[in-house]
């Protein structure tokens, strides 16, 4: 007998028929003698619809009320799954975040889980019932409902798995595992049998939304065994494991992309100590997340140009902050544009192999794709390019690094 947390994403609970399918899977695990905690997302499209309602109601909405609205989607699916399970003769009950309780900090809209009290869940399991927990939500220190940021039910699942000391955490989704890149844009993407926590963390933070970044960080810190698999087919999925469990390590294990980026160039910034800090402090104060940064060498020793990227949604605010501080920040001009994409190659094998960056630049050059910004870390290289070349770039890189699936003749 094992204790298993099973998380089902939006498409997997997209309508009542699919929820019945989830109930059947859960019932099977219970029949096999396992203790099961289920974590659910809202029906696919629901959270987007709720975001739309908030925006329509007011552009400057209160983040606490936004959370009250957004958390509603998961309430529906946990209730429905509990009904379906009971219908199959499997005792089950639903838990909203506050009923567990899942306690978070006060960062409404992007709250972090601080603790999960396990008493109620343990009681439920000891009574032989399935606990069906609403993902993506908790209760903040201010005693208000908080949501964990988009895609946050993965994080709920891993956090619950760590809290109840589950043997593993199964993440069921609409693809049958983690691929070398998004299988929806690269048909030749290859399913990975295993991926390291570190690589998965990079892939997720660089745009692979199959797992929320925070969920991978939690899994790594708490040693939760995570498996990504299909909720529609019985196929082996992908295990997220530590590095020593991987025997043959590829140099590059995946390609990720992140749309919705914007690029800002600060032209003619005075070249003296403290200038960069003056520039970024007000952006940080406004919670604007600056990502890649490049500063060019100053030609005359007096002025330099600096380029950075921000999420597209933050571009208008970033420009406003910079323009309104232009005098103190001492720059001449601002050039900015949305519609760029970040494409990254990821692999722990990069640490010990040269030539990975060169291959990336050669491949993009062959396709006449202009590289606008570059950043690297030990296990990844990212570039900013025009969004219209996303598919072309990702496919070409996928082929260049030998990741394409090989079809047997």
Which of ligand ADP, Mg ion, ligand ASP, none sits in contact with 97, Cβ below 5 to 8 A by type? none
Question: Could you give the C-alpha distances from 191 to 138, 165, 406, in angstroms and in order?
Answer: 33, 28, 12
Q: Is 46 in the site for ligand ADP (CB under 6 A)?
A: no
Which listed residue (4, 11, 67, 306) binds ligand ADP by CB under 6 A?
A: 11
Rounded to a whole number of angstroms, the minimum distance from the CB of residue 54 to ligand ADP is 20
> Which stretch of DSSP H or E encloses residue 213?
helix 213-222
Q: Applying CB under 5 A, does 151 fall inside the site for Mg ion?
A: yes
Q: Which among 358, 371, 372, 362 has a CA at the least distance from the CA of 396?
A: 362
The closest alpha carbon to 282, from 239, 242, 334, 320, belongs to 320
Euclidean distance between CA atoms 70 and 105, whole angstroms:
17
Spatial distance between the Cα atoms of 329 and 323, rounded to a whole number of angstroms: 9
Angle (CA) 179 161 25, round 5°: 65
Residue 210 binding target from ligand ADP, ligand ASP, Mg ion, none, CB below 5 to 8 Å by type: ligand ADP
* Residue 9 lies near ligand ADP (rule: CB under 6 A): yes
As measured in angstroms, the least distance from the Cβ of 184 to ligand ADP is 4
Total residues at the site for ligand ASP (CB under 6 A)? 13
**CA-to-CA distance for 243 and 255, rounded, in angstroms?**
19
| String marking each residue 184-203 x if it binds ligand ADP according to CB under 6 A | x------------------x
138 touching Mg ion, by CB under 5 A: no
Q: Which stretch binds ligand ADP (CB under 6 A): 107-115, 170-178, 296-304, 389-397?
A: 170-178
In this structure, what token pair is assigned to residue 152?
């946050």
Query: What count of Cα atoms within 13 Å lies in the side-chain half-sphere of residue 4?
Result: 20
Q: Which of 8, 10, 178, 340 binds ligand ASP (CB under 6 A)?
A: 10
Residue 152 interacting entry, from Mg ion, ligand ADP, ligand ASP, none, C-beta within 5 to 8 Å by type: ligand ASP
Based on the shown chain and the rule CB under 6 A, indicate whether residue 43 belongs to the binding site for ligand ASP.
Answer: no
Is there binding between residue 259 and ligand ADP (CB under 6 A)? no
Binding of ligand ASP by 188 (CB under 6 A): no
Choose the one of Mg ion, ligand ASP, ligand ADP, none that binds residue 401, judging by a C-beta under 5 to 8 angstroms depending on kind.
Answer: none
User: Of the candidates 66, 98, 136, 179, which one interacts with ligand ADP according to CB under 6 A?
Assistant: 179
> How many of the chain's residues bind ligand ADP (CB under 6 A)?
20
From the list ligand ASP, ligand ADP, Mg ion, none, which binds 47 (C-beta under 5 to 8 Å, kind-based)? ligand ASP
Question: In 286-355, which residue ranges form alpha helices assigned H by DSSP?
Answer: 315-324, 326-329
- What is the torsion angle, in degrees rounded to the nearest 10, for the CA atoms of residue 235, residue 407, residue 252 and residue 197? 0
User: What is the C-alpha to C-alpha distance for residues 295 and 44, in angstroms, rounded to an integer?
Assistant: 41
- Strand order across the 145-147 sheet: 113-116, 102-104, 137-140, 145-147
Q: Which two tokens stand for residue 77?
A: 């699916």
Binding interface with Mg ion (CB under 5 A):
9, 151
Binding interface with ligand ASP (CB under 6 A):
9-10, 41-42, 47, 73, 135-136, 150-154
Binding interface with ligand ADP (CB under 6 A):
9-12, 41, 151, 173-175, 178-179, 181-184, 203, 208-210, 254
């Amino acid at each position: 007998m094992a204790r298993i947390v099973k998380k089902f994403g939006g498409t997997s609970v997209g309508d009542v028929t699919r929820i019945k399918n989830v109930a059947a899977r859960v019932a099977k695990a219970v029949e096999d003698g396992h203790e099961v905690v289920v974590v659910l997302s809202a029906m696919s499209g629901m959270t987007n619809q709720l975001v739309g309602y908030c925006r329509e109601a007011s552009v400057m909405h209160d983040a606490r009320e936004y959370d009250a609205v957004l958390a509603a989607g998961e309430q529906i699916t946990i209730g429905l799954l509990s009904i379906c399970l009971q219908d199959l003769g499997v005792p089950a009950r639903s838990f909203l975040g506050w009923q567990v309780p899942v306690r978070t900090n006060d960062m409404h809209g992007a709250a972090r889980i601080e603790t999960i009290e396990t008493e109620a869940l343990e009681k439920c399991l000891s009574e032989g019932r399935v606990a069906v927990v609403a993902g993506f939500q908790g209760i903040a220190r201010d005693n208000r409902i908080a949501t964990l940021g988009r895609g946050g039910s993965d994080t709920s699942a891993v956090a619950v798995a760590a809290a109840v000391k589950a043997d593993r955490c199964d993440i069921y989704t609409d693809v049958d595992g983690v691929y070398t890149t998004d299988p929806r844009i690269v048909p030749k993407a290859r399913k990975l049998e295993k991926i390291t926590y570190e690589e998965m963390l990079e892939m997720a933070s660089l745009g692979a939304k199959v797992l929320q970044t925070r969920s991978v960080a939690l899994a790594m810190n708490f040693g939760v065994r995570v498996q990504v698999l299909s909720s529609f087919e019985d196929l082996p999925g992908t295990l997220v494991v530590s590095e020593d469990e991987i025997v043959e390590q590829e140099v590059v294990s995946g390609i990720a992309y992140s749309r919705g980026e914007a690029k800002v160039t600060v032209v003619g910034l005075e070249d003296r100590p403290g200038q960069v800090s003056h520039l970024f402090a007000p952006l940080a104060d406004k919670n604007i997340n600056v990502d890649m940064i490049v500063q060019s060498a100053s030609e005359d020793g007096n002025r330099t140009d600096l380029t950075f990227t921000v999420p597209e949604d933050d571009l208008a605010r970033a420009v406003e902050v910079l323009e309104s501080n232009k005098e103190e920040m001492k720059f001449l001009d601002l050039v900015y544009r949305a519609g760029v994409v970040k494409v990254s190659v990821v692999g722990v094998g990069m640490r010990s192999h040269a030539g990975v960056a060169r291959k990336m630049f050669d491949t993009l050059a062959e396709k006449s794709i202009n590289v606008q910004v570059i950043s690297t870390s030990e296990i990844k290289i990212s570039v900013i390019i025009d969004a219209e070349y996303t598919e072309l770039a990702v496919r070409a890189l996928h082929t260049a690094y030998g990741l394409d699936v090989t079809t047997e003749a």
